[in-house]
Copies of this chain bind each other. A is one copy, B any other.
Amino acid sequence: MAIESFGTERAARRLRLGMVGGGRGAFIGAVHRMAARLDDKYELTAGALSANAENAKVSGEDLGLAPDRIYSSWEEMAEKEGARDDGIDVVSIVTPNKLHFGPAKAFLDAGIHVICDKPMTLTLDESLELVKIANDSGLVFVLTQNNTGYPLVRQARAMAADGTLGDIQVIRTSYVQDWLTTALDQEGQKQAAWRTDPKLAGAGGSIGDIGVHAFNLAAFISGLELESVCADLRSYVPGRQLDDNANVLLRYTNGATGTLWTSQVAPGNYNRLSIGVYGTKGGIEWVGEDNDNLQYTPFGEPTRTITRGGPGAADVANRVTRMPPRHPEGYIEGFANVYTDAAELIWAKKDGRDPDPGATDVPTVEDGARGLAFIEACVESSSKGGVWVDARPDL
């Protein structure tokens, strides 16, 4: 990979971006904005950044929005932006899970492309409905299961798809944190509170907040369809309404099996996302906190460390690489890759052309439904004492 090819933005055209959620006190909204800015493909133009009118106002001012593009209601924003000639091209929905479906439907109905945070909706039913709405709309819908944007995750997916690993037989994946080891959610911490409230987060606690990332990562890389799960969910902190630890067995339709573990009560783990995918010809291992390296073992040969931007990095990885090897990229860069690919998909629609093939490697509305099907299957399995439950959405 020639060093001069990194980080060429070639922007010129920027999409007008709106945002629902992400005002002061929020976390993930700022991440979306950094991701959108990094490659200069978007210009933040409008926002319903908070349901609280005052917070919406100051948050919009923080971000330099014009007064008439600051909304305190996403319904109003969808309506007005949809009606403007210079209305937003695309909206980012970065609210708690409960407020994904409504805005997504509203903006799609208003003819505005949608980028939506995960899990896609509060329930699988909502997700299945949103699949229809999005598909009928002809608009771009991108789900920010952001780990799919890491260059070496893209490469791992390609290695599974092209047969490098042989027939995939075994998967293990986990996403582990420790921040809910104590009853933070019951002490007024905003991020903890909504994530453990079934009315705002849905049926899944850790399984919905982070387990779904592990599920999605396994599906994205392996290309396999999850068939069923057997799950044991626990709320170890007294009084917590949703699970804070989940142990899950996985069965894929091709006969592969796996384990998925997610926890928010495992001291010493902050955001440890990890996966191994093993086939008849080789295995790969990747850890999110060391995202710039992929361990690849052709069976019977020494393990190779494939480094982002370095020897052995594939075209699909290089396409979304900004920096030379071992100048670390990270979470924001991976997130930005999803945004930049979303921009390409939108421009392709606008231009009436096929998108750059690589840009289609982003999570779809169907992937969102698969995530909800996974979450609900885990919850059902566990509530029945740990039985096998079909995890396939009716797509």
Is A101 interfacial (CB-CB < 8 Å)?
no
Mark each residue of chain A from 245 to 270: 1 if its CB lies under 8 Å from any CB of chain B, else 0. Answer: 10101110000011101010111111
A386 touches B230 (CB 8 A): yes
A298 to chain B, nearest CB (A): 7
B4 touches A289 (CB 8 A): no
**Quick one: copies of this chain in the complex?**
4
- 8 Å CB contact of A4 from B27, B306, B331: B27
Is A163 interfacial (CB-CB < 8 Å)?
no
In the bound complex, what is the Cα–Cα distance between A33 and B172 (angstroms)?
Answer: 36
A325 touches B292 (CB 8 A): no
Contacts of A26 in B (CB 8 A): 4
Is A62 interfacial (CB-CB < 8 Å)?
yes
B386 touches A249 (CB 8 A): yes
- 8 Å CB contact of A27 from B6, B63, B174, B281: B6
B324 touches A332 (CB 8 A): no
Is A223 interfacial (CB-CB < 8 Å)?
no
A326 touches B34 (CB 8 A): no
Given A7-B30, A305-B303; A40-B38 close (CB under 8 Å): no
| Chain A contact residues, CB within 8 Å of chain B | 2-4, 6-14, 24-27, 30-31, 33-34, 37-40, 61-64, 169-170, 172, 174, 178-179, 181-182, 189-191, 230, 232, 234, 236, 245, 247, 249-251, 257-259, 261, 263, 265-272, 276, 278-285, 288-292, 295-307, 309-312, 322-333, 385-388
